[in-house]
Amino acid sequence: MGYVAVKGGTDAIHNSHELVEFYRLKDAVTPIDIKQIRSQLRLAVDKVMGEGGLYAPDYAAIALKQAEGEVFEAAFIIRAFRTTLQRRFYSETINTRELFIKRKISASFREIPGGQILGPTRDYTQRILDTGKVDETAEDIQKFLEIFESKIDREKLQTVKTYTKVIDLLREEGLLKPIDKNEDRRLVDITREAIKFPAPRSARLQMMARAETGGLMAMGYSSMRGFGSVHPTVGELRYGHLPVRIKDPSGKIRYAGKIEITEAEMVSSVSAAKKNAIPKFTIGYGLCFGQNDTKVICMGILDSTMRSPDTGSPANDQEFVLYHTEGIEAMGFTNHLKLPHYVDFQSALSNIRSAMERNAEVKEGQKAEEVTFMQP
Amino acid sequence: MYMENQDYIVCECNLEALEAFVTSIEPDFDIKIVRAPSICMTMVQAEDAVEYQPFYLGEALTTECELIVNNQKGYGICLGDEPVRCYCMAFFDAISQLIDIDLSKVNEFLNEQFLLIQQANKIEYNHIQRTKVDFKLMEQD
């Protein structure tokens, strides 16, 4: 299909942008501070960073403000912003075993190293609308913080610890399926190299790390519901922050700050391929910026499904999963449908009208023939 | 002060305290700015914790800076749009490599900040530990 460009409309487009600002500001209420967004819309900021592919909480908060809270649009703004910057460094490989644990749970084992820590979660809440939030004041916040702070004894503080992972215990017992030596383990960067299918696992993990949460969830859910082969258990899910180290131009490895991440190891059992062979567990892996349980769980499921290619099942088809969970591209393509397609449509219209005219002519001809035939 | 600890403290400490301290000792040094603090990106490398498959997690906004302090180069690299912190990091990097310089005031500041960071971490950790759960199975007491 060919495209015909349109021109003009500059004033209307400019006025439309102005109107967006008008609707954002017309009620003349107190402007939202970026710190408020970063602090009180923490999970939205995390989503924008994760899907925008750039860890920058303040900038993600600005994008959310600019996009009036539309997470897709904000992530799009962040993706566009990252293209304006030079990539000067590659970090040392982050080590999730160094995680400062804020949340750590397992659905597979009741007893895990260091115990199950719920951390900040709404998992066990009833999702009842809290209308008390309407009248929340700065004093209320202060009072809450004072009461919260008083709940620990500062004279008896435990020392910060890191914990062994559940999968390390499974590995020690020899319960995990060995690495497939035939799998493509090359490290590729999908922001520099167009993805080709079948894609190496590194490309699949990178694409999923910046994929759209809802898209990953739809695919992961389809597999669990039976349109795929994987229905795993959460081996371990962790959320917290960890150090990022970067080599400086003199060659020294430097601590450069910390990032928040969520990580999931999803356990599935696989039956043995050969008779009398022992079945093993396989692990699907999920990792993303910020706190986002749903994303890493589904990433873990899809990591497993894509390792068993099957074009008959959407969740097992790499191309289907990776292209359709790429939120920014999907959003861009969907929204391009709103742009002028006048010539395409006129051409379709013209074809249909011609067909209708031809049909009418044929019918007229047939009618005339029938009349002639009936007259002696 | 161990290098990583020094960077860790400069990255994690209170910015106002850091700026005030560096401003107070800056006049004692000859400082040239080679690369003023500017933002760039760092690609964060990760690996699957099970099979150690390396992959790229995404980029992180980073600030970098380069100074020459008393003829000694110093680099600052920190996450975020943090021009002041990055400048201070480069400054500390340079002065920690100078010979015959009394760093007792610097070490005192860094140690003080380190204790504050550690205490804040401990408090947060202890709040988090309050959410530790031990679900019982229905047939258990």
pLDDT in tens, B85-131: 999 999 999 999 999 889 999 999 999 999 999 999 999 999 999 99
Tokens coding A9: 């409309």
* B97 near A CB under 8 A: no
Measure in Å the smallest separation between the Cα of A8 and chain B Cα atoms.
36
Minimum CA–CA partner of B13 in chain A:
A257
A54 and B41: CB-CB below 8 Å?
Answer: yes
Residue with the two structure tokens 């739809």? A218
CB contact at 8 A, B48 and A285 = yes
Residue B4 has pLDDT above 70, yes or no: no
pLDDT digits (tens, 9 = 90+) for B61-81: 999 999 999 999 999 999 999
For residue A85, the surrounding DSSP H or E stretch is none
Contacts of B109 (CB under 8 A, 6+ apart): B21
- CB neighbourhood size of B62 (10 A): 28
Please report, for residues A57, A140, A274, the alpha-carbon distance to residue A40 in angstroms, rounded to integers and kept in the order given.
Answer: 12, 14, 54
Q: Nearest 5 degrees, angle CA A192-CA A82-CA A211? A: 70
What pLDDT, on the 0 to 100 scale, is given for residue A277?
77
d(CA B109, CA B22): 10
Among all chains, which residue has been given the structure tokens 């060995």? Answer: A178
Whether A35 contacts chain B with CB within 8 A: no
Model ipTM? Answer: 0.96
| CA atoms lying within 13 Å on the CB side of residue A215 | 21
**Given this model, what pLDDT does residue B1 score?**
52
- Write the CA distances from B43 to A169, B61, B62, integer angstroms: 31, 9, 10
| Bridge partner list, A332 | none
Question: What's the confidence (pLDDT) of residue A374?
Answer: 65
Yes or no, beta carbons of A288 and B57 under 8 Å apart: yes
Pairwise CA distance, residues A88 & A155, whole Å = 45
Token pair 């914790």: residue: B49
Q: Is B41 on the interface with A (CB under 8 A)?
A: yes
Residue by residue, DSSP assigns A281-346 as EEEEEEEEESS-HHHHHHHHHHHHHTTS--TTSGGG-HHHHHHHS-HHHHHHHHHHTTS--HHHHH
Decide: A227 and A315 in contact? Cβ < 8 Å: yes
Give the per-residue pLDDT at A280: 85
Task: Quote the Cα angle for A12-A16-A18, to 5°.
Answer: 120
The pair phi, psi for residue A197, each rounded to 5°, is -110, 140
**H helices of chain B, where?**
3-12, 15-25, 83-95, 104-129
Number of alpha carbons in the 13 Å side-chain half-sphere of residue A136: 9
Q: A124 in contact with B at a CB cutoff of 8 Å? A: no
Q: Which of A55, A85, A179 sits opposite B44 (nearest CB)?
A: A55
Minimal Cβ distance to B39: which of A53, A85, A202: A85
Which chain A residues are closer than 8 Å to B40 by Cβ? 85-89
Residue A32 burial by Cβ neighbours in a 10 Å radius (0-12, 13-18, 19+): middle
Q: Assess B29–A contact: CB distance below 8 Å, yes or no.
A: no
DSSP class of residue A251? S
Q: Say how far apart CA B110 and CA A361 lie, in whole Å.
A: 92
| CA–CA gap between residue A45 and residue A41 (Å, rounded) | 6
Name the nearest CA neighbour of B76 among B39, B28, B129, B126. Answer: B39
Mean pLDDT score of chain B, rounded to an integer? 94
Write out residues in chain A with pLDDT < 70, as ranges: 1-2, 271-274, 373-376
Rounded to whole angstroms, how far apart are CA atoms A236 and A106? Answer: 4
CA distances from A54 to A41, A94, A176 (A): 17, 16, 33
Where exactly are the structural domains of chain B?
A: 3-128
Could you read off the pLDDT of A295-309 as tens digits, one per residue?
999 999 999 999 988
DSSP H/E element including A140: helix A138-149
**What gap in Å lies between CA A50 and CA A214, rounded to an integer?**
12
Quote the pLDDT of residue A181. 86
Q: Do B132 and A243 touch (CB under 8 A)?
A: no
Only one residue has tokens 């209708």, namely A356
The pLDDT value given to residue A273: 64
Residues 6+ apart with CB under 8 A from B47: A93, B53, B54, B55
CB contact set of A88 (below 8 Å; sequence gap of 6+): B40, B41, B42, B62, B64
Contact B129 A158 (CB under 8 A): yes
- A38 Cβ under 8 Å from any chain B Cβ: no
CA distance A329 to A101: 34
Beta carbons of B72 and B97 less than 8 angstroms apart = yes
Q: Does B99 touch chain A (CB under 8 A)?
A: no
- Integer CA distances (angstroms), A234 to A36, A40, A95, in order: 33, 28, 20
Query: Do the beta carbons of residue A258 and residue A242 sit within 8 Å?
Result: yes
Interface test with A, best of B2, B79, B140 (most A CBs within 10 A): B79
